[in-house]
């Protein structure tokens, strides 16, 4: 239903005529006999436009002025009794929207009625023209987005699939950065860290920390264990024998060993120490001094870490990117060499090893983080 229009017309005859015309236009017309009456109901009716009949008092010029004072933006259309262009222009200069010419037929009033309604209120529409013009650019943007998403997804998939994996599946990141020794026993992993001067006990299943033992008097650079004792090597080449209690109570210590070891292991009968700098592997007596029995040259490239079990010596080789298996009887004889996939990370530096339960455990630094991972023992 369109908003109402107000008609100011004193003549009953003209009102009757105009009532029919505006009804034919589909307009809701509110009639006022004079200007005072119109101003009184203007606020209540809120018309979209006002049509003022000419030839009555006061003249349309006065009514126009008064109406504009109350409602400056209200369209006012004088209904001229005769076609007078000069008067029409003067009324338009005074603020009339336009002037209707006589006779006031439906055909004559229709354009003015529609134009008056169009000028009232802010038109709110969906700007379909703008949408159409933007449709193409929107379609292009969507196509570009999907193309990019497809490219990025394919690139990511290819990258994941074809790039070497830097981290092994069975690996755990460590909350500390400089592991130097690892021991696997009783469902736990003991790991020494030279920077924090501590031994961390981890749950072997999820590598959650069970206990941290601080060793302020020692900077551990290597570690191994027997069923009864823990052995820690310091930076001075001295190995300390400690109890496997809560505080790893020191028991004895060796004199400074030469070369200073950064790997140590126990094969069940003898102790083995190794120095990655010189590549020397030393077999030692199982006494408190770890007396040297024989020294061997590492047969591989660059020794990173050494461990052993009752059958073999195992070495992580940083230059060969492999694990070497060596004979306990002749450590200078390589029994097998197995590529270690973890070395696909160029920044990996293995610093400790342990052999337990058919698995080889590795601890090391990879960039600015430390990790532990294990592999099945190579055949």
Partner 1 sequence: MNRNDLLIPAIVRASPERPELWGRLASLSPQEAELITQFALPAGRVVTLSFEFAGEKFEDVRARVTRAPRDPDGYYACALAFLDAGQRDGLRAAVLRVSPFSPPR
Which residues are near partner 1 by CB under 8 A?
Answer: 83, 85-86, 88-89, 92-93, 98-99, 108, 110-112, 114-115, 118
Question: Is the Cβ of residue 106 or residue 288 nearer to partner 1 in the bound state?
Answer: 106
Beta-sheet strand order (sheet of 348-356):
171-174, 369-376, 359-366, 348-356
Q: How far is the CB of 89 from partner 1 (least distance, A)?
A: 4
Question: Is the Cβ of residue 77 or residue 350 nearer to partner 1 in the bound state?
Answer: 77
Q: How far is the CB of 133 from partner 1 (least distance, A)?
A: 21
| Token pair belonging to 93 | 């200069």
Cα–Cα dist 119/121, whole Å: 7
Cα–Cα dist 207/289, whole Å: 33
Question: Is the Cβ of residue 51 or residue 272 nearer to partner 1 in the bound state?
Answer: 51
| Token pair belonging to 35 | 């200007």
The SS3 assignment for 64 reads: helix
Q: How far is the CB of 43 from partner 1 (least distance, A)?
A: 26
Strand ranges in 206-258 using DSSP code E only, listed in sequence order: 209-214, 222-225, 229-233, 239-243, 250-253
Q: How far is the CB of 94 from partner 1 (least distance, A)?
A: 10
Q: How far is the CB of 11 from partner 1 (least distance, A)?
A: 23
Q: How far is the CB of 91 from partner 1 (least distance, A)?
A: 9
Question: Is the Cβ of residue 83 or residue 359 nearer to partner 1 in the bound state?
Answer: 83
CA 332 to chain centre: 52
Q: How far is the CB of 39 from partner 1 (least distance, A)?
A: 24
Question: Is the Cβ of residue 20 or residue 111 nearer to partner 1 in the bound state?
Answer: 111
Task: Say if CB 342 and CB 374 are below 8 A apart.
Answer: no
Of 248, 194, 252, 240, the residue nearest 221 (C-alpha): 194
Angle between helices 85-93 and 60-70 (to 10 degrees): 20
| Token pair belonging to 312 | 């073999």
CA dihedral 256, 258, 264, 267 (to 10 degrees): -110
| Token pair belonging to 346 | 């160029």
Q: How far is the CB of 112 from partner 1 (least distance, A)?
A: 7
Taking the alpha carbons at both ends of the chain, their separation in whole angstroms is 91
Question: Is the Cβ of residue 104 or residue 312 nearer to partner 1 in the bound state?
Answer: 104
Question: Is the Cβ of residue 125 or residue 206 nearer to partner 1 in the bound state?
Answer: 125
Task: Say if CB 317 and CB 331 are below 8 A apart.
Answer: no
Spatial neighbors of 269 by CB under 8 A, at least 6 apart, are: 286
Cα–Cα dist 113/319, whole Å: 94
Q: How far is the CB of 46 from partner 1 (least distance, A)?
A: 21
Question: Is the Cβ of residue 97 or residue 348 nearer to partner 1 in the bound state?
Answer: 97
Question: Is the Cβ of residue 115 or residue 185 nearer to partner 1 in the bound state?
Answer: 115
To 5 degrees, how large is the angle CA 354–CA 289–CA 247? 60
Q: How far is the CB of 148 from partner 1 (least distance, A)?
A: 42
Whole-number Cα distances in Å, 161 to 73, 154, 156, 157, 165: 70, 10, 8, 6, 9
Q: Tell me which residue has tokens 């749950």.
A: 203
Question: Is the Cβ of residue 111 or residue 175 nearer to partner 1 in the bound state?
Answer: 111
């Amino acid at each position: 239903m369109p908003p109402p229009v107000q008609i100011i017309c004193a003549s009953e005859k003209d009102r009757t005529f105009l009532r029919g015309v505006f009804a034919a236009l589909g307009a809701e017309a509110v009639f006022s006999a004079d200007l005072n009456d119109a101003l009184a109901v203007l606020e209540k009716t809120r018309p979209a436009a006002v049509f003022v009949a000419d030839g009555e008092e006061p003249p349309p010029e006065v009514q126009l002025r008064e109406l504009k004072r109350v409602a400056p933006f209200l369209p006012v259309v004088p209904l001229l009794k005769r076609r007078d262009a000069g008067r029409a222009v003067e009324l338009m200069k005074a603020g009339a929207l336009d002037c209707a010419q006589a006779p006031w037929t439906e055909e004559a009033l229709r354009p003015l009625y529609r134009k008056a309604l169009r000028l009232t209120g802010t038109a709110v529409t969906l700007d379909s023209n703008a949408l159409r013009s933007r449709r193409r650019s929107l379609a292009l943007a969507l196509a570009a987005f999907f193309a990019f998403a497809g490219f990025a997804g394919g690139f990511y998939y290819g990258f994941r699939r074809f790039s070497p994996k830097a981290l092994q599946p069975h690996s755990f990141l460590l909350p500390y950065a400089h592991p130097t020794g690892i021991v696997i026993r009783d469902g736990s992993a003991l790991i020494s860290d030279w920077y924090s001067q501590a031994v961390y006990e981890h749950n072997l299943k999820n590598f959650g920390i069970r206990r941290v033992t601080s060793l302020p008097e020692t900077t551990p650079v290597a570690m191994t264990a027997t069923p009864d004792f823990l052995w820690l090597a310091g930076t001075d080449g001295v190995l300390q024998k400690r109890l496997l209690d809560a505080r790893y109570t020191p028991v004895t210590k060796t004199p400074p060993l030469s070369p200073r070891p950064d790997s140590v292991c126990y094969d069940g009968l003898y102790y083995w120490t190794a120095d990655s700098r010189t590549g020397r592997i030393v077999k030692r007596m199982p006494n408190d001094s770890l007396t040297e029995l024989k020294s061997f040259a590492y047969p591989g490239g660059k020794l990173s870490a050494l461990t052993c079990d009752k059958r073999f010596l195992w070495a992580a080789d940083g230059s060969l990117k492999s694990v070497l298996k060596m004979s306990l009887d002749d450590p200078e004889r390589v029994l097998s060499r197995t590529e270690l996939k973890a070395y696909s990370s160029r920044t990996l530096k293995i610093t400790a090893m342990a052999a337990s339960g058919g698995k080889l455990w590795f601890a090391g630094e990879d960039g600015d983080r430390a990790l532990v991972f294990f592999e099945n023992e190579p055949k």
